[in-house]
Structure 1
Amino acid sequence: LLPHRKAFFAWLHCLFVCAQARFSYLHMKYLFFSWLAVFVGSWVVYVEYSSYTELCRGHECKNSICDKFQKGVIDGSACNSLCEKDTLYLGKCLSAKPSNQVRHNKLEPRKESASFNRPTKGTSMEKFKEMVFSHLKAKVGDQANLADLVTLVLGVADSNKDGQISLSEAHSAWALLQLNEFLLSIVLQDREHTPRLLGFCGDLYVMEKVPYVPLYGVSLPWMVELWIPASLRRSINQWAAPSWPRKAKIAIGLFELVEDLFHGTFGSFLMCDVSTAGFGYTERHDIKVVDARRIVPEVAFQEVMRERRCEEDSDCMYGRDCLTSCDLTKHRCTTEATQPNLAKVCSTLKDYLLYGAPSDIKDELEKQLYACIALKGASEQMEMEHSLILNNLKTLLWKKISHTKDS
């Protein structure tokens, strides 16, 4: 029995040592991954905090603007509220992008402040009007009602409504005119699809708050986004969306925006980023544009693309959604966008609208949406097809919700 007993105890000893080694290995593995998670998490927090504190300096932005206001360099309808009465403040920073610092109801478009050196001292009102006219002509093209657009701009520039535009008001207006989103807010000021312009001071302007952003889906931290499967993300977006009749009303508003931009009162505009983050809606489910930086005048877009060199079609991309083709004989981009605005909007709305759609219109709705997505910008009959599909979609949705309270 002695040899067997020795063998048994040897086996127990081996088992104990192996278990201890296994435990030590698991313990070290756990410690390593815990340390790694803490390190990566700390690094992410540091980077985010650094970018936030570097870019989202509300007090520095305010001090810079107010210093120029107090020196008489700039003026605007929001300057007193921001700099003297303290009834307007820069709230939580909603974006850490240097090109677009967004705060509650306010937008500071550039990391670096505008120089506010144009127009120069001694510029007459007539000369400033000519400056505005030439700038808008380059942006939206030479059209019969360009003078009306100039009148609208000058009306906004006259912030105290005294019938005169001071040099400081002109400095602010000129800086703001360089921004696509500000120009669009003036072009569409009588429509319902852009937030109301509440005031400005220098190149900072205040817009009406849009309560629901993005257009659909849930905004999640980017680290969470990395770990969520696409199928789960779609399910979350659909779960968080309004009821189908309300989605239909939101979609109709977006289609109406397309109409306003396509051969509108002051020329055509191209939607070069039709992501859901660029749109929101109100309590009444009316669509609102919340980021119009990539909604650009077609004339200005064509001028930019005409000068761009290329080796392949992908070199001719502007923003996220405006693509032209590359002319390989000249190695220059062509100026015609391959897709019209409507096709991009339908692509964005397809899953949103089809999910939960009433069974009696779902097949027809799907058919119309796919026909819409297939629209091409260079087609000879594009304008007629564009109008036909747009009307069909609006009519189909409106007939289904016109009798409900959501309409």
Structure 2
Amino acid sequence: MFQKFSTARFSYLHMKYLFFSWLAVFVGSWIVYVEYSTYTELCRGHDCKNSICDKYRKGVIDGTACSSLCEKETLYLGKCFTAKPNSQVYSGNWGDLQGVIKCQMEEAPHYDLGGEMEPRKEAAPVAFNKPTKGTSVEKFREMIISHLKAKVGDQANLADLGTQVLSFTDSNKDGHISLPEARSTWALLQLNEFLLALVLQERDHTPKLLGFCGDLYMMEKVPYSPLYGISLPWIIELWIPAGLRRSMEQWFTPSWPHKAKIAIGLLELVEDIFHGTYGSFLMCDVRTTTFGYNERHDFKVVDARYIIPEATFQERIRQQRCDVDEDCLYGTDCLTSCDLTKHRCTPEVTRPNLAKVCDTLKNYILRGAPSDLSDELEKQLYACMALKGLAEQMEIEHSLILNNLKTLLWKKISHTKDS
């Protein structure tokens, strides 16, 4: 009897072991297959490089990085970070420089509220066909000014920004602007991230542009991202409970004084793009993954695709048909209301940049805050999160809360080495 029980028990355990071994192999194979399939679908850097270099060799485009990318091969694409097939993102190495390479692979020209709020590139072979052959530098300047006006509105100092763009266009600094150089600049000007880098080039919030070829460009590397937490492969994210994920996010943060310095940088970005030198910009994705910081704990924008000119946003959102307010959402954070009499979205966002930023900063900056500061800091953050709209009467309150938060944090760290 005992022998029969042992044999049956062994048989059961053996079958259980075989089942779980098979399951482990199946799941492992599925993960590898999914990751490989996802990688091959998303990561098309080889195609992107070939397309860019083909146009460079044919004399269609030119830029500071073209020769290194296509001839000397001293600039190359590394690890793939692509999340969308039409916007390729890779780590990049260029001699001693490390950065992030971004390459556009968009095709059909149309407006998509769920994607970039800008026209996608025209399909080959007519890509990079502007400006046309025979266009003078003065005519190109007019094209630039007209485009910038459509993007950021009729600002008094657009001419200065146009001059900066022309200076940038002369990539080899020979005092002349070639047609391939002009076509590369025109393609880059269509991108929100490039436009923001131009507007904020005298500030340190956006990574520096290291080089470009056509609309492929390399930005300065931001070593620490997301703003807090840890970046994990999506397949692992699926298995981590939300509560554990929130706890993990707090494990991977700098010391509180460093967090305060980073937070001040984010607040300064809000200040710079709210009625700034070239109009207002809207932050339409305020998740922690879009921000980071460097070794000195200086705040940096990692992904600026969803920081868009308010004028551009309002023009596009008015054209959006809607039945409920949720139809009027761009990115993850720019929501307007639906006018049910016209079934069109209204142009004014329901929450300003500052309120969304304070929402993101709340858990980050309150955790570990000095006891003599935490109550007042929490009070200011909740007042900030309660801000609504961008109406004229809100501007004084907006500025007051922003200055109060910056002052509160700065007083606490200004006397330390962390400042």
TM-score (norm 1): 0.92
Counterparts of 2:305 and 2:299 in 1: how far apart (Å)?
17
Counterparts of 2:392 and 2:51 in 1: how far apart (Å)?
52
CA deviation profile, 1:178-225 (whole Å, cap 9, x unmatched) = 110011111111101011111110111111111111111111122222
> Structure 2 regions of 5+ residues with no counterpart?
92-98, 108-120, 122-126
Counterparts of 2:132 and 2:281 in 1: how far apart (Å)?
31
In the alignment, residue 377 of structure 1 is paired with which amino acid? Answer: G
Counterparts of 2:261 and 2:339 in 1: how far apart (Å)?
41
Counterparts of 1:111 and 1:41 in 2: how far apart (Å)?
32
Counterparts of 1:307 and 1:395 in 2: how far apart (Å)?
41
Q: 1:370 offset after TM fit, Å? A: 0.7
Counterparts of 1:57 and 1:222 in 2: how far apart (Å)?
19
Q: Is 2:72 the counterpart of 1:78?
A: no
- Deviating beyond 6 angstroms after TM superposition, the runs of 4 or more aligned structure 1 residues are none
Change (3 A) 1:378 1:63: closer
- Tell me if the contact between 1:368 and 1:393 (Cα under 8 Å) persists in the aligned partners: yes
- Tell me if the contact between 2:41 and 2:85 (Cα under 8 Å) persists in the aligned partners: no
Change (3 A) 1:198 1:378: closer
Please, which moves more after superposition, 200-209 or 53-62? 53-62
Counterparts of 1:362 and 1:76 in 2: how far apart (Å)?
50
Does the residue aligned with 2:78 lie in a helix, a strand or coil? coil
Please, which moves more after superposition, 87-96 or 265-274? 87-96
- Tell me if the contact between 1:100 and 1:107 (Cα under 8 Å) persists in the aligned partners: no
Does the residue aligned with 1:89 lie in a helix, a strand or coil? strand
CA deviation profile, 1:79-105 (whole Å, cap 9, x unmatched) = 122222222111111224213321122
CA deviation profile, 1:122-169 (whole Å, cap 9, x unmatched) = 222222222211111111011211111111111111111223211101
Q: Is 2:56 the counterpart of 1:62?
A: no
Q: Is 2:397 the counterpart of 1:385?
A: yes
Change (3 A) 1:129 1:379: closer
Aligned to 1:257: 269
Q: 1:110 offset after TM fit, Å? A: 2.2
Does the residue aligned with 1:198 lie in a helix, a strand or coil? strand
Q: Is 2:122 the counterpart of 1:110?
A: no
Change (3 A) 1:401 1:368: same
Does the residue aligned with 2:292 lie in a helix, a strand or coil? strand
Rg: which structure is higher?
A: 1
Aligned to 1:288: 300
Counterparts of 1:240 and 1:85 in 2: how far apart (Å)?
40
- Tell me if the contact between 2:44 and 2:88 (Cα under 8 Å) persists in the aligned partners: no
Quick one: percent identity of the two aligned structures? 76
Aligned to 2:75: 88
Change (3 A) 1:289 1:165: same
Q: 1:404 offset after TM fit, Å? A: 0.5
In the alignment, residue 101 of structure 2 is paired with which amino acid? Answer: L
Q: Is 2:25 the counterpart of 1:38?
A: yes
1:6-405 alignment runs, 5 A limit: 12=1, 17=4, 20-21=7-8, 23-104=10-91, 105-112=99-106, 115-379=127-391, 381-405=393-417
Counterparts of 1:57 and 1:298 in 2: how far apart (Å)?
32
Counterparts of 1:301 and 1:93 in 2: how far apart (Å)?
30
Please, which moves more after superposition, 314-323 or 221-230? 221-230
Q: 1:331 offset after TM fit, Å? A: 0.7
> Considering only aligned residues, what root-mean-square deviation do their CA atoms show, in Å?
1.8
Counterparts of 2:128 and 2:272 in 1: how far apart (Å)?
32
- Tell me if the contact between 1:73 and 1:168 (Cα under 8 Å) persists in the aligned partners: yes
Does the residue aligned with 1:90 lie in a helix, a strand or coil? strand
Q: 1:228 offset after TM fit, Å? A: 2.1
- Tell me if the contact between 1:106 and 1:204 (Cα under 8 Å) persists in the aligned partners: no
- Tell me if the contact between 1:51 and 1:96 (Cα under 8 Å) persists in the aligned partners: no
- Tell me if the contact between 2:45 and 2:88 (Cα under 8 Å) persists in the aligned partners: no
In the alignment, residue 122 of structure 1 is paired with which amino acid? Answer: G
> Structure 1 regions of 5+ residues with no counterpart?
1-11
Q: Number of residues paired by the alignment?
A: 394
